[in-house]
């Protein structure tokens, strides 16, 4: 039985990772589509920022609702439902001709994305042995980099020549294959052991997350999730547009963002290697500090060389931190409320994802310099560092409760 365990873990990682890849493709392509729609639909900065923010509103709702549902009906079924939301919403959004219809469908896509990510990491965490758990969850997160890379390639080769609609169809269709693969996926063994027990009510589950026993890890996670999501979506959804603001053409901006995206891969892999050696806290603190410094230099960069270097370090450290955060989050709660706890933290974080892009749009329209905007994100990430440092506890290789 133990002999087959690594093979089953690899299968789970591959199936879960495929969904993660398609999610990243969608979020990544959205950043390029915002730049394309700005030209095609003559959008204002505020309208551009709402595209990113409505996605995060959907993600907040999805993370909360599907996190609760994962503790009621199981991780596997929620995993399937969320991908269905994403696939259908993304495909239909390619057919829209108005901003309003596009925003409605982006909300539906966001619900699928927001629900899938914490549930996927919970499922993997509960299935993998403690000594490999952190590394495997970070490797799961590394599929995000491949998705962003695919998004950058599709955007560079497809959007300028064939339009953003074709790019969206390309991201939606393969997701149905991932949906097919998930049907044969077993549920979490830890969830199966409690499946027949009397489950706490939804209200009791929510109360438990903020009970005296869990108030410290919950406060820590909510602060970190909010600050990380706020800075990530504020910075990365605007990356192609920021490059255009700095004087580059849309094609050039796509090229440079593609180069920056490549740095996500070593960011993930280095975090995956470190997380079982240095521990979750150390990796999170180190990579968040790197993110803060990189954000500051990206905002103040004047030359192309410094801009690319800062952008690559920003991708390296920020995505490595994301991997550690997804590994760390499910480890804070017992199985009965793990989906609820992880989902609520992610949902609160998505509020930051709503505010980040809106803040950038508002400040850009007022003529605020990019250096000031990126300084705000730098400070937000430092707040996350403080939360991990003072409120976080190490969970490396501990058996899940």
**Which tens digits make up the pLDDT trace of 331-379?**
999 988 988 999 999 999 989 988 888 888 888 888 888 889 999 999 9
pLDDT in tens, 212-259: 999 999 999 999 999 999 998 888 877 777 777 777 776 677 778 778
**Which tokens is 185 given?**
């996926």
Q: C-alpha 285: how far from its chain's center?
A: 18
Return the HEC string of 221-245: HHHHHHHHHHHHHHHHCCHHHHHHH
Q: What is the mean pLDDT of residues 58-63?
A: 90
Percent of the chain with pLDDT over 90: 27
Looking at residue 362, its pLDDT comes to 85
pLDDT in tens, 69-93: 988 888 888 888 888 888 888 889 8
Looking at residue 138, its pLDDT comes to 86
What's 1's DSSP letter? -
What domains lie within the chain, and their CATH numbers? Answer: 7-185+205-391 (1.20.1250.20)
pLDDT in tens, 160-197: 888 888 988 888 877 777 777 777 777 777 777 776 67
Residue 296 has pLDDT above 50, yes or no: yes
pLDDT in tens, 189-206: 777 777 667 777 888 889
Looking at residue 223, its pLDDT comes to 97
**pLDDT, averaged across the chain:** 85
Looking at residue 164, its pLDDT comes to 87
Greatest mean pLDDT range, 29-38, 123-132, 312-321, 361-370: 312-321
Looking at residue 401, its pLDDT comes to 65
Helices (H), 158-188: 159-162, 164-182
Task: Name the band, by pLDDT with cuts 50, 70 and 90, for residue 105.
Answer: very high
Looking at residue 183, its pLDDT comes to 77
Task: Name the band, by pLDDT with cuts 50, 70 and 90, for residue 281.
Answer: very high
Residue 146 has pLDDT above 60, yes or no: yes
**Which tokens is 209 given?**
């997350």
pTM > 0.75: yes or no: yes
Query: To 10 degrees, what angle do helices 202-209 and 335-365 make?
Result: 70
What is the maximum span of the chain, computed from C-alpha positions, in angstroms?
Answer: 62
């Amino acid at each position: 039985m133990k002999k087959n365990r690594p093979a089953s873990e690899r299968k789970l990682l591959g199936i879960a990772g495929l969904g993660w890849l398609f999610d990243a493709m969608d979020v990544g392509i959205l950043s390029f589509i915002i730049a394309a729609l700005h030209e095609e639909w003559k959008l204002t900065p505020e309208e551009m920022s709402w595209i990113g923010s409505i996605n995060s509103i959907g993600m907040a709702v999805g993370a909360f609702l599907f996190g609760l549902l994962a503790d009621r009906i199981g991780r596997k079924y929620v995993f399937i439902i969320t991908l269905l939301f994403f696939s259908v919403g993304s495909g239909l959004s390619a057919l829209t001709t108005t901003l309003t219809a596009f925003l409605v469908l982006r909300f539906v896509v966001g619900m699928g994305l927001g629900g899938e990510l914490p549930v996927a990491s919970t499922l993997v965490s509960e299935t993998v042995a403690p000594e490999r758990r952190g590394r495997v969850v970070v490797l799961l997160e590394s599929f995000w980099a491949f998705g962003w890379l695919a998004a950058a390639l599709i955007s560079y080769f497809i959007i300028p020549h064939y339009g953003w609609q074709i790019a969206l169809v390309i991201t939606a269709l393969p997701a149905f294959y991932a949906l097919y693969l998930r049907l044969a996926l077993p549920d979490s063994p830890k969830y199966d052991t409690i499946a027949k027990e009397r489950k706490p009510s939804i209200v009791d589950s929510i109360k438990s997350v903020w009970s005296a026993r869990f108030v410290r890890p919950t406060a820590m996670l909510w602060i970190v999730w909010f600050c990380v999501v706020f800075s990530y979506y504020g910075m990365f959804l605007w990356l192609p547009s920021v490059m255009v603001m700095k004087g580059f053409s849309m094609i050039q901006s796509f090229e440079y963002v593609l180069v920056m995206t490549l740095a996500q891969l070593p960011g993930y892999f280095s975090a995956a290697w470190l997380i079982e050696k240095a521990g979750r806290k150390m990796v999170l603190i180190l990579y968040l500090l790197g993110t803060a410094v990189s954000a500051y230099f990206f905002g103040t960069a004047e030359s192309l060389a410094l801009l690319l270097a800062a952008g690559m370090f920003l991708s390296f450290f920020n995505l490595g931190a994301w991997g550690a955060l997804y590994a760390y989050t499910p480890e804070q709660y017992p199985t009965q409320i793990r989906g609820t706890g992880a989902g609520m933290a992610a949902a609160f974080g998505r509020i930051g994802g709503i505010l980040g892009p809106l803040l950038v749009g508002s400040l850009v329209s007022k003529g605020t310099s990019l250096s000031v905007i990126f300084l705000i994100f730098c400070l937000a990430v430092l707040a996350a560092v403080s939360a991990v440092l003072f409120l976080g506890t190490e969970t490396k290789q501990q058996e899940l409760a």
